[in-house]
């Protein structure tokens, strides 16, 4: 069952502010190949000690939330971009970062590497090709694991 973000996200934020971890299945394809939307689960914690490369849940506009990777931190400004996005960044203040991903798991419980994706972040020009290969060659294999 999928809850509307205006109900779901405040509850995540409340639980995390109490020091709890929250596990959920994100939707969308913006974090491919690291997170497969509607398939993988992510574990969220309070977003302290933010660093470039962290995957975070952030509110970029009122009630518009993304689960994306931090590309730049400059003072209070956070630049975000999904790994599966070919272009376009979002910006928010550090206070609008609601949670940080600390684990990614496949549906069968296998832990996926939590990487800062340094190389991937610098491959924006060739991402289209790599994402196409991932969709056609890797994804069918991954879904059968």
Share of the chain above pLDDT 70, in %: 81
pLDDT at 145 over 60: no
- Where does 4-141 show beta strands of DSSP type E? 22-24, 41-45, 55-61, 64-74, 77-81, 90-93, 97-105, 111-112
At the top level of CATH, the class of 5-143 is: mainly beta
Domain spans, the chain: 5-143
Q: Which value, to the nearest 10 degrees, does the dihedral of the CA atoms of residues 46, 50, 56, 58 take?
A: 80
pLDDT tens across 10-66, in order?
A: 899 999 999 999 999 998 888 888 898 888 999 999 999 999 999 999 999 888 899
Mean pLDDT of the chain: 85
């Amino acid at each position: 069952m999928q809850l509307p973000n205006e109900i779901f996200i405040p509850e995540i934020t409340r639980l995390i502010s109490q020091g709890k971890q929250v596990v959920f299945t994100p939707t969308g394809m913006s974090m491919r190949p690291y997170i497969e939307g509607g398939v993988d689960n992510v574990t969220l914690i309070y977003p302290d000690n933010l660093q470039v490369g962290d995957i975070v849940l952030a509110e970029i506009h009122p009630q518009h939330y993304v689960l994306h990777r931090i590309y730049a931190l400059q003072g209070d400004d956070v630049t975000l971009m999904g790994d599966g996005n070919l272009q376009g960044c979002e910006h928010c203040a550090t206070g609008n970062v609601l949670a940080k991903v600390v684990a990614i798991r496949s549906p069968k419980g296998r832990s996926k590497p939590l990487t800062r994706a340094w190389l991937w972040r610098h491959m924006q020009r060739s991402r289209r090709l790599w994402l196409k290969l991932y969709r056609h060659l890797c994804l069918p294999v991954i879904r059968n694991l």
